[in-house]
Amino acid sequence: QLQLQESGAGLVRPSQTLSLTCAVSGGSISGGTYSWGWIRQPPGQGLQWIGYLYHSGHTYYNAPLRSRVTISADGSSNRVSLNLTSVTAADTALYFCARMAPMGSFDAWGQGALVTVSS
């Protein structure tokens, strides 16, 4: 059974870089037709997609975040990473990694990692 688990610092200082890792078990992140994405949810708000690593190797990012975000993968450790630079309080959110199916649905999610941006 596919499982995703996010990990990383729960508290990040303003202007610093948010770094999260998604460990995938029960399936390989390499090959096939699945892609891997990150979605976040600010407290009390809805879902906002951050970006995804398409199975072709290309990355796509949400326009408002594009200049600050990087998504990458390490096939040897079966992990997907998220880096978000120059964070502000507006980046405080629950961050989810998710598997993206070929038609664009997110069919498996991690439990989420809460990241608070505060000095």
Tell me which residues touch another protein (CB under 8 A). 37, 39, 46-49, 52, 54, 60, 62-63, 96, 101, 103-107, 109-112
User: 84 burial class (0-12, 13-18, 19+ CB within 10 angstroms)?
Assistant: buried
Nearer to another protein, 78 or 109 (CB): 109
Nearer to another protein, 90 or 103 (CB): 103
For residues 92, 47, 110 and 65, what is the CA-based torsion angle, rounded to 10 degrees? -60
- The single-letter DSSP state of residue 90 is G
Q: How far is the CB of 54 from another protein (least distance, A)?
A: 8
Cα gap 16→52, rounded to integer Å = 22
Q: How far is the CB of 16 from another protein (least distance, A)?
A: 26
Q: How far is the CB of 78 from another protein (least distance, A)?
A: 19
